[in-house]
Structures are given as structure tokens and as C-alpha cells.
Structure 1
Amino acid sequence: MMTNTPIKTAIIGAGYIADWHAEALKVTDGAQLVAVCDLSRSAADAFAEAHGVVAYYDLDEMLAAGVCEAVHILTPPNSHAALAQKCLEAGVHCLVEKPVALSVEDTQEIVQMAEKSGKTFAAGHNFMGLPSYGRLKDAVAKGDLGKITSAEINWHFPLAPLRSGPFGLWLLKEPKNLLLELGPHLYAFAVDLFGPVEIEHLSLGKPIELPADTDRPQSWRVIARAGDVDVTFHISLVETCDDRSMTVRGSTASARLDYANDTLIMQRENASDIVLNPLRKQLDQVGQHLKEGLVNATRQVTSLNRKSAYGLSFQGLFAAFYKSLQDGTPLDARFDGAAALNVMQGIDDTIAKMPKPAAKPKPKSRRKPKPSVLVIGGTGFIGRALTRELVAQGKDVRVLSRGQSGPFDDIADHVELYSAALSDKAALTQAMQGIEAVYHLGKSLDTTWEACLQNDVGVTVGIAEAAMEAEVSRFIYTGTIASYDMSKPDETITEHTGFGDDMTDRNLYARSKAKCEEELLKLHDSKGLPLVIARPGIVVGEGGPLQHWGIGRWHGAGAVRIWGPGTNILPFVLIDDVAKGLVLMMQNEEAVGKSFNLVADPMMSARDYFAAIHTELGAKIKVSFGNLNAFWAADAVKYLLKKHALRRTGAIRPSLADWKSRAHFSPFDNSLPKDVLGWAPESNRAVFVRKAITEANLLGF
């Protein structure tokens, strides 16, 4: 039945991808976002406030309220099937993020429930919503490429969590999850253009061992056939040049779709002689590339970056979904149940060719841990190293974690994973029973100061109050050297250096961490919180990322723009040294009431660091040197556009000093942790390079 009334829509799952959906819904005819539902109250509330919708924390309650006619399901993939069936049964249309389910059988149940309820189910194969893909599909259909002989569909894009975590993500739980997560993008193209795919061969490569787990393949090569078209799928997740593309070859021409950038380039023959033929072919390519570049640049500028390729892909998907709902017409075949089934069948058939996973490492004994230390943020980069260092020194550790498995299965006789919401003081107090020392390494990634006060500062104060109620003997908080003004080369920073009386012109991360320290120090002075503050420098080493944003602004794995000229010494520190320093803060009575900057001896500049990567790994990263005044000026323009053109509340504008601080111009004096704690960070440059670069597996292979 046709309707002109906007379809009231709710989002289920308020994670990272939810913001993309919300922004695309704003420009989708026939759609009105009215609600969000997430089990996490803080996540739901933050999303609701940002987008002006109602927050729910229970799906049954939201469905019973009848506030929506359609939902977008954006939760972890293992929950998709059950949630979709529940929503469809309740009479609500469903758009489900890929993978729509974990098997053909689960997908079939969703399709059947949609048919039974008379509601629409759409698969979130978003890249097929791109304008460039629409043009490719038209070209194939009209025969512009001739008879299609083969296609190569690529996903060459780094997946940093494979090397630096977090390792508790669903996609890292099992080797097959990587294909379930990424495969739908590739297989959906082949299914839509050529029909169901028949899998002939699977080759896996570049394995990487996850902490306390088995290997995960980082490259997948799948040879398949769709009708009489030869299809090859390539997935590469190491630190590689971004190439998310599809090349379709026909008897007349070939076409290359770059779906990460929404461009389509045709390579066509011409009838010129042997001298002019190559020239004409290259000029044709130049003209197409120039046109595609100008179109994309114009689109980005005029839309204020709201029409990036990724954003456009969602807009195309949503336009098809809501047009079907409003017009009462069948859903576009790119996104319907039949397409979802064919895509999942291809993935299932590929998974069937995978070798059986090896058994996970097991602890040496079956003893139950008796934790005396609690680590909040223990599954992160620093937290993992700290937990293992504590165990190595004979401590049993309780790690606050959302899941019941993590990067400590091999030392599970010394590490207990414990689930408690950081905003639940009673649950935190219970988690601290029997605990002598608490490490708070957690952080929130907020986009407004109000959210920082709630999710970072408020949560941190609540954790500290719980620690006092539990009468722990040590509370160690990790702040950041980013809170300092590091813009002055002639000013050496020590622990006595203040952050500044007015932090309102600093970036949110630096400001929020400084506010956390301020509130914790109040509790120390007024109520005796046994506080120690650690401020790690630029932490490097095994488990850390290649694309470290403390050094510069990265553009994929192959290019970086350094903050500033890159000649000043940076406050690097090895991850192992940070872990040892944190343990010393727990052991040393003199540490209470003090803060410590965990920065190694002067070692390397940014230029030195990238030169060492080139020498040690053979990888020459393109390094540009950033003018911080230009960064600041560009950010000022973006601030004005966000505030006045996009009318975004909470927009901030960091000062020029804040931008200069990112270059870490000010040197550090690290004598206090050495004198008080007996901390001895690595001082040998050759050893530092070996641990920070050579043995750190920065590229993943």
C-alpha cells in the first residue's frame, strides 16, 4: 500500500556504525529516525542525545510501545537472526547489517518470517548502493563490456585489531568470522551481477597468532564461478595499500570499480593504428580519472563531507528500502531475501573448505584464580601487557571484561574475567572484594564535553568511590601526557608541570583526562583515596599499531603526515617498560599521592622512527611534514561549518597550542619514576629499535 507518511524507524545497537545509519537516514526520503535501543544505557542515551530520538534499553519494551514501523539491526552478527525474527514477528520491517546471519539456515528463517508476517526484510549490502556500482551494473546489462569472461573482487585493507586488539571482538572469536564479516561485501557484487557463486578453491595465507588463541588467516583467495563467469575473491588484512575494488573483464572492455572511493573507470579499445592506439587509450583513462575526481571533490565540498563514498553507499541502500516500503513495491533485488540467501550460501560453501581450527592454548593448571589485583581496561594494549606482567610477578588478576573469553586463556589459572558495568557502583564494589590494588586504564571516546563528563569523568569518580568503599590499598589511574601543553620546545616537562588553569581550548581527550585527574586528587586530599597517577608517553612495541596517531595523521598504511617538522625527540616508551612501571606503582609506598610520567630516555624523532621502519622492515612509508598552523586553520574552518552550517551542538575548537602539543615539542624529564620507583626504561637505542619495530610485527607479516 502506497503512503506518503515517513516510515518511523528505530536503530537497534548504538555502536560505531549506528552514527553512519543515522546520518544517512537524515537525507533519506520517506524515513524518520525516532528511537534507539541498546542494552547499554550510556550508549543508548549518548546516541539519543546526539540525534534527538528516544532511548530504549529493552527491545520488548520498544516493540510493545509501537514507536516504530521499521528497524535497522546493527548489533553483533551472532544476534542478528533472533532479533530480526522477533521484530518481523512483531510486525516491523527489518534492515539487517551484514552478515545478516551466521548461516544459510538462519538466513532462511529470517526470510520465512518476513513472508509469514508480510513485512520487508532487507540485507545491508551497502556498497551496492553506490552510484558508481549502479553505473557498472547498467554497463554490464547494456553489453557495454561485451560478453563477461571474468571478475576479480578485492578487499585489501588493514584490520588493525588482528595485531593490536581489542581481541574480544566478535569477528576475532573464530577464524571463519573474518569471512562472515567481510565476505558479504564481495560476494554480494558477484551474486548481483552474475548469479549464485560456486566455490571451487580456497587458499589461506599470512597467519597471525592471537594472544592466548590460535592463528587467524590474514589473506583469503577464493576461486569461484558464477554461471560461465570466472570469479576470484581476494581478502588481505595486513598493513597494505587500500584496494577495495572490483574489475570486470569482457570481450569489448573492462571496468574497474573502486567502491571505497565511488569511482568507475572503463578501459576500452580504439581503432587507431599501432602508434596512436596506446596514446588514445591512456588519454581516455586520464579523462575518466579527472572526471571522477572532480565529481567526487565537488560532491564532498557541497555536502560538507556528508556524501563520502561510505555515506553514499548507505544512502543508496536506504533509498531502495524506504521506496519499497512507501510505494508498496518489491524490494530492489540487490538487497532482498533471495540475494541474502545466495550470498550466505557462497560464504557457507567457502567456510566448508576451511581447515579445522587448532585447539586453543590451555592454562598449565586447573586452579581457580584468587585475584588480589583488579584491572579495568585489561584487554587493551597496555592492559594486556600489565596483566601478564602482574601474573609473571606472582599475582592473580581480575580483569573487568564484557565477555567470558579473552587474550588470557593460556593463563586462565591466574586471570579471572569479571563482568560489571562501569556505571554500576554496587557491581564495582562487589568486583573489588578481596582486591588490594585497582588499575583504571579505561577511557571513553566521546564527541561532546557533556558526554565526557558523564562517560569518562563521572565513571572514573564512581570507580574511585567504589574502591574506597571496598577499602583497596592502591588506586592507580592512567592519565595521559596529552593533557600537558607540549607546544614550547624550551620548556622541560616534569610531574610538577601543571596542565593549565583553563582547559576549554584543548581537545576533548586531553581535557577529559585532566578533569579525571583533578577529581581523583580531590578524593585523595579529602577522603584519603590511595591514588597514584601514571601518564604513559607514546607507547610502542609488540601488540601496538603501526598507524599510531600520537606520531601523525595516517592515510592508510603507506602515508603519514607528521605533527610538525618531525625533528624533535618524541616521548616514546616501550610497552614492557610501561607495564613494569605500573607494577612498581603498586609495590612502592612512596608512590601514593604522586604522578609519574612514564617516558623513556630521549631516543628518536618521528623522522628517525620512520627511517628505522624502512631500514628494519623494508617498508618505506611516505612521510609528509605537517604545518601545525595550517592544521589549526583548517580545523577552524571545519568548526565553523559544523557549528553554523550543520548546526551540530557540542562542536569544539582546539587552540593553536593544542595542535602544537601534538608534535610533543617540549622535552620530558623522567627522573622522578627512576628515583622514586626504581624504574629503568630501555636506554639502548639498538635494543629499543628491535623491540619497538623489528619484533613488533607492525605490518602483520
Structure 2
Amino acid sequence: MSSNSANGRSAISATVPIRTAIVGTGYIAEFHARAIRETAGVELAASCDANFARNEAFTGAWNIPLAFDSLGKMLQETHIDCVHILTPPDLHFSLAKTALQAGVHVFLEKPMCTSTTEADELIALAAYQDLYLGVSHNFLFSSAFERLRKAVHSKEIGPVDHITFNHFYELGQIRFGPFDNWMLRNPGNVIVETGPHLVSALLDLAGAPEALSVIADREVTLPNGAKVYRRWRTRTTVGRTAIDININFAPGFPQRTISVRGLFGSALLDFDADTCVIDQRTPLDIDFDRFKRSRAIGRQLQKQALAVLARYGFGKLKLVRRGNPYQNSIQDSIAAFYASIRNDKPLDTRIGGRTGRDVIEHCLRMIEASAIDTSSAAAARPERPALATAPTVLVLGGAGFIGKELIRHLLASGYCVRAMVRGSASALDEFRFDRLELVRGDIANRADLERAMVGIEFVYHLAHAQCKTWAEYLARDVEPTRLVGEVCLAANVKRLIYTGTIDSYYAGAKASTITEATPLDPDIHRRNYYARAKATAEDILSDMSRSQQLPLVILRPGIVIGRGGGPFHWGVGRFSENVCEVWGDGRNKLPFVLVSDVAAALVQAIEVPGVEGKSYNLVDSPLLTAREYLQDLQQRGDLKLSIIYQPIWKFYLTDLAKWAVKVVVNHPDRIRKPSYADWESRTQKVYFDCTRTRAELGWKPASDRQRMLDEGIGAALEPWLKAVE
């Protein structure tokens, strides 16, 4: 139990580490974990997440000693001085209150809470308990913002006349989900979630805004019935200073900037570049003045850009405790929080609880001034219809791209299906049939799998984890697949269908024609972790098939395109905004296959008798090159892409340089030496002969160029085009 007194924090010795825990191990937790590790005198002692399997993976990746599935249990069973609460905003208040009542300092991710009433209660409780309560408005600690606030507060650019805040950054959840997360449950929540980045900067630079004029438009109705507004435009004043706040969540070039116009100069901050340039007049004549000012701006940009790159590079080499700009801003905000605790001094106002409360107040004012209907929250998910019959087919990974299409085909074929989902089930809301049952579960949990397989005859394993290291792939992808095989054996299922990948083959220029008889890459240990994990999982299941008669069928889809997938497919090249780096010259035909044809083959794999123990590749006839794909994509989308046909050796040398740095700094991922063959395989210059698949499964893929274009590119592009309208 925490040793802090019930009313007043215990003194923390300068020689004793501050024991800290993370609550919520989602995306942002990695940034906090790294920042805590880089803060002197702070020990990351535990982590907590209701999803215990995810928490175990997180603690393993970060070598955190203790993992818990509830905050109460953690506070009871170990000594903790401080918690970082990184959960969805609607949980902030209850968790922070529990921690403060236990005598523990609290550092909250923004937004502090979802209402000023909750924030006020936490502020009062922290004061009563004599504890620190901080809020991570980390953008305010970036190097660029530090320069900007100094220029403003020192009056370097004179009294400020106008400030423009731009947050043009796509909110991917609007297009891809999950649609039932807190941010999308109510049309105002996106401002409570995102607005603090801008409002906290506004309060720090100028003060509290006065009357607000807000327009919210570009309305989108989500699949669950909730509405969201992709564009928000706010105008207000603070004294003599005019303020514009522009937010756009639609696809487009990312731009997060602050522009300040003063009496004696101007400043332009770019958060993503971490630069802030000052522009001021010179005593020269107008034409020479323009020239000198332009050069001065260029020099500032060059100097700051080099500094950003140097901090990143030296951080990778472990020569300095720095990283990319976003990591640095979080690191500095966290360092400021712990410096206050260690030195028993007031918090920096940028992360103080009172600021967190005021930020929420003004975000809520923006929502109110917009006059949007905040009652149009997500409709309560209606009860699913009663099952017409007991499910006989189990789909693991049914909420994914291929999984959804498979469920659509299974239902159309008359099967009663059970889909096990680990996270949000909103992706499957479109399937409201009396022959589909949704159950919660994790494939890494034996009990969940055993419950899901009751009455099941056929199992599809399409699930896979997003991992960064080989250890993570083993823990979250390979070993769960072994568990699926074991539970299938115990349940006496009639057939297990596992989806591998053609990426597990060597497919470079030296490869001959690939058939199902072709072995997977013999140097698979040198390949990318995804290809290696899939091949390792195949080996495990195949061994079970040979030694224990696991009724296994393996299908390896090619480059899958079509409805529900992204049009900017990395099977073609590496996409970044409008830039596509094609793997090689892009002239060879690629092994494309429509997602609908993959789903059809998956259905056939449980219907055709006598195919146990076999594997099949799912690749259509060679119909399109990368060049042809990109040409059609640009024509259909009225797009102009910057296409670079990149030699494979450039990708390889870049990877080799990164690996050399990892070796120098003793990085855990240094073990895998880059492979030229791995990069070359991305060109897919090999020919896939799927004659056996067509004959034995009765598979009839499109084999039609126009259909491949219409369904593969057109159907995938359509939702993206709607999003940018």
C-alpha cells in the first residue's frame, strides 16, 4: 500500500527514486515510458491496464517489474508515488480521484477531464491531500514553442495584434474507426480531445478568450449513427489581440502551425518541423530589406532543422537523452512535473491542474458557441437479433479487412458465424443478422478461445498483431497461434484455416516460378518480422498437423486490394502523403488479388473435401504493374502523386545504416541484420502459378483487368474520396 499519509504527501528523499506507474498502455504509453526512463531519479515500477494481455506485452517490452489489471489492486499491493493516467478521457476523473485519495501524485494526459466540475473536484482534492496534479499539455514544451513564447512574452515582436492557430491533421478514426471510442461518441468530443493542444497554447500566449464565434461544418455521419464535424473555425479576441483557430480533421497535407503578428515583427511556428522563425524589418531599403529578411528566415530554418536532426541522431546514438520533436516535448513536460515534486516547488503553469481546468472550460465554450446538436451522440448499439441456429464457424480477426469480407461471404453462403473480437466490435455493426454472433475475447487467452469454440466445426485464424520487435511478434502473434492450434485439437474441430502470406517467400529477380510446392524463404530468419512470424506460425501449425492430425489448411493471399482496403497500398510502394516510393522500377506485373476473391477461396477451404494438410497461394493472373496501378489511382482520384521509382539498394543501404546505429547503441533490435533479399522481395518480380489452387479449391478469381481496376482500386478509393469532399 502507498506509504503516503492520508492527508499530505510524504517527503521524497533526494537519493530515493520516485516510484511511478502508468495506467493505460495504449499508443501514448510508449512515449511516457521512454520519457520516464530518461528522467533522472524516477523509476517506472509498474503498469496497469484492464486489458491484462496488452499490459503484459507492454511490461515485457519495457522491462517493467509489475503488471496489474486494476488501479485499486496496484495501489494496494505495491508502493507507488505517482501515476500517469493515459486512458480515454471519460475515465480520467474516477482514476485520478482514486489515486489522489490514496495519497499518490497524478499526471494526466490531456484533456484533464470531460467537465469543469470534475476538474474542480480533482484540484480541490489534490490541494487537500497536498499532492501534485499535473496535465500533459506537452506541445507547450516543444523547442519551437519555447522560442515562440519567449518572443511573445519578451515583446521581441512588439504588442501582439493577431494570432492564428492551424490544426490541419486527419483524424483517421473518422474513416477507419473504431467508431465507438469516446472521441466519436458525441460531436463535441473531438474538440475536448484535440482542442487542448490549441487552447493551452492560446492561454499561455495571450490569455483567456472573450466572446467566441464558431462555425462547425463538413458533417459526417458515422456507421453507428453518431455525427462528427471535420472542420471547426473559431474567431475570438483577447484584449486587442484577434484570434483565429482553424481545425480540420479531413485528409490532406498535415499542418500544425501558430502564426503571430506583432507591431515590430511576426513569428511562424511549425509543430511538426519543430521550427519557429522570427521575421523583422531591417534598416535597409525595401528591396534589400526583402532579400536580407528572406535570407535571415532561411538561416533560421536551416539552423533549427539541423538542430532537430542532430538531437534525433545523437539520441539514437545514446549520446544525448533526446529523440524526435514529439518525444522531446513529452519528455520535457514530464521532467518539469518531476522537478517540481523533487524540489517541492509549484508546477509550471503550462502543466498545472488549474490550466488543465481552464483549457476544458474554453473547449466546452467552443462547442457551445458552435450551436451544434450535441444530442446526436452515437445511438446505443441495438441488441443483436437472436441467433437462428448455433454457430458452426468461428472467425478470429473478423474485424479486419479480409475478415469482414469473409464474414460477408460466409453469411451469404448460409453459415451461422461466431466472430471473436478483442477490441471494438463497431467494425462489424453492418452485419446485423440472426446468423452472426459476436463474442469478446483474446486469442492469447486459452479460456477465451475455449469458450469461443463451443459447438464450432470450422475455425478461421486471420488475426495478427501489430508489433515492432521479434520478441513482441513471438509473444503476441506466434505463441497465440500455437494456442489456437492446441485449442482446436482439444475441441476436435473439423478444419482450421490459417492465413499466411506470400511475403514469406523470396520473390526477387532470382526466384523462379512459385507454386505451393515451393518452400518458404530458407533465409526467413533474415526477413522482416511480419514475414518471419507468419512463416514461424505456419511451421508450428504444420508440425501439429503432421504429428497430432490437426486438420489444417493454409492459404497465403497475395497483395490484397478492394472494398474496405486502403487505396494507397504498400504492396505497390511506400506511401507518405502524396509521395510514393515504388519498390524498384515498377514495370513487372504484381501478384494482386481482390479481397472478394480471397474470401471466396476461404469459404471453399472449408467446403472442399480432402484438402487437410495442404497449402494454397491466392494470387490472380498477372494483370497490373505498379506503374499501371498508380496511373489508374491518379486518374480515378484526380490526384497528382509524386512517384519515385526507387532502386532496392537505396532501401537496403538506409536499413543497413539504421542497423549499424542499433549495434553501436546496443539496441535490443540489433540482432536482425538487414537483408537485401528481404527488400528485393518487395518488387515481387516472381510469377505465382496458382493452378493447383484453382483446380483443387475450384477457385475462380477475377482474372479480368477492368474488374481488378474497378473493384481493387475504385472500390477502395471511394470512401477516401468521400472523406475529402
Normalising TM by the smaller chain, what interval? over 0.9
Matches within 5 A, 1:311-350: 311-350=327-366
Given that 1:362 and 1:410 are in contact with CA atoms closer than 8 Å, whether structure 2 keeps it comes out as: no
Q: CA deviation at 1:312?
A: 0.8
Matches within 5 A, 1:346-385: 346-352=362-368, 353-355=371-373, 356-357=375-376, 360=379, 366-368=385-387, 370=389, 371-385=391-405
Given that 1:153 and 1:247 are in contact with CA atoms closer than 8 Å, whether structure 2 keeps it comes out as: yes
Distance 2:107 2:355 in 1: 13
1:666 aligns with: 686
Task: For 1:354, give the aligned amino acid.
Answer: I
Matches within 5 A, 1:253-292: 253-292=265-304
- What is the DSSP-based 3-state SS (H/G/I as helix, E as strand, rest coil) of the residue aligned with 1:554? strand
Matches within 5 A, 1:200-279: 200-208=212-220, 210-211=222-223, 213-279=225-291
1:507 aligns with: 528
Matches within 5 A, 1:420-499: 420-488=441-509, 491-499=512-520
- What is the DSSP-based 3-state SS (H/G/I as helix, E as strand, rest coil) of the residue aligned with 1:553? strand
Task: For 2:215, give the aligned amino acid.
Answer: S
Structure 1 residues 282 and 578: alpha-carbon distance in aligned structure 2, compared to 1, 3 A threshold: same
Q: CA deviation at 1:280?
A: 2.6
Q: CA deviation at 1:369?
A: 5.7
Matches within 5 A, 1:171-190: 171-190=183-202
2:637 aligns with: 617
Distance 2:346 2:458 in 1: 60
Deviations, residues 382-434 of structure 1 (Å, cap 9, x unaligned) = 22222223223333322212357412334333432211232222331111112
- 2:661 aligned to which of 604, 617, 641: 641
Q: CA deviation at 1:322?
A: 0.9
Given that 1:531 and 1:592 are in contact with CA atoms closer than 8 Å, whether structure 2 keeps it comes out as: yes
Given that 1:628 and 1:660 are in contact with CA atoms closer than 8 Å, whether structure 2 keeps it comes out as: yes
Given that 2:22 and 2:83 are in contact with CA atoms closer than 8 Å, whether structure 1 keeps it comes out as: yes
Task: For 2:607, give the aligned amino acid.
Answer: Q
Distance 2:659 2:153 in 1: 45
Root mean square deviation, CA, Å: 2.6
Q: Which moved more, 1:495-504 or 1:113-122?
A: 495-504
Deviations, residues 476-529 of structure 1 (Å, cap 9, x unaligned) = 111111111112355222222111344221111111110111111122222232
Q: Does 1:386 align with 2:396?
A: no
- What is the DSSP-based 3-state SS (H/G/I as helix, E as strand, rest coil) of the residue aligned with 1:301? helix
Structure 1 residues 533 and 205: alpha-carbon distance in aligned structure 2, compared to 1, 3 A threshold: farther
Q: Does 1:141 align with 2:153?
A: yes
2:139 aligns with: 127
- 2:439 aligned to which of 418, 431, 435: 418
1:29 aligns with: 40
Distance 1:448 1:622 in 2: 31
Task: For 1:4, give the aligned amino acid.
Answer: A
Given that 2:270 and 2:276 are in contact with CA atoms closer than 8 Å, whether structure 1 keeps it comes out as: yes
Structure 1 residues 10 and 461: alpha-carbon distance in aligned structure 2, compared to 1, 3 A threshold: same
Task: For 2:25, give the aligned amino acid.
Answer: A
Task: For 2:395, give the aligned amino acid.
Answer: V
Deviations, residues 45-83 of structure 1 (Å, cap 9, x unaligned) = 333333332122232232123432111112233322211
Distance 2:147 2:326 in 1: 17
Structure 1 residues 486 and 219: alpha-carbon distance in aligned structure 2, compared to 1, 3 A threshold: farther
Given that 1:198 and 1:346 are in contact with CA atoms closer than 8 Å, whether structure 2 keeps it comes out as: no
Gap runs ≥5 in structure 1:
none
Q: Does 1:524 align with 2:509?
A: no
- What is the DSSP-based 3-state SS (H/G/I as helix, E as strand, rest coil) of the residue aligned with 2:354? helix
Distance 1:252 1:662 in 2: 54
- What is the DSSP-based 3-state SS (H/G/I as helix, E as strand, rest coil) of the residue aligned with 1:660? helix
Task: For 2:376, give the aligned amino acid.
Answer: P
Q: CA deviation at 1:37?
A: 2.1
Task: For 2:542, give the aligned amino acid.
Answer: L
Given that 1:600 and 1:682 are in contact with CA atoms closer than 8 Å, whether structure 2 keeps it comes out as: yes
Q: CA deviation at 1:331?
A: 0.4
Distance 1:390 1:323 in 2: 58
Q: CA deviation at 1:309?
A: 0.7
2:25 aligns with: 14
- 1:406 aligned to which of 422, 426, 434: 426
Between the two proteins, the alignment pairs up a number of residues equal to 700
- 2:625 aligned to which of 605, 609, 613: 605
Task: For 2:99, give the aligned amino acid.
Answer: C
Distance 2:192 2:393 in 1: 37
Given that 1:85 and 1:110 are in contact with CA atoms closer than 8 Å, whether structure 2 keeps it comes out as: yes
Structure 1 residues 581 and 93: alpha-carbon distance in aligned structure 2, compared to 1, 3 A threshold: same
Distance 1:686 1:300 in 2: 46
1:87 aligns with: 99
Q: CA deviation at 1:441?
A: 1.1
Q: Percent identity between the aligned chains? A: 35
Given that 2:273 and 2:305 are in contact with CA atoms closer than 8 Å, whether structure 1 keeps it comes out as: no
Distance 1:560 1:138 in 2: 39
TM-score by length of 1: 0.93
Distance 2:349 2:120 in 1: 16
1:698 aligns with: 720
Task: For 1:67, give the aligned amino acid.
Answer: H
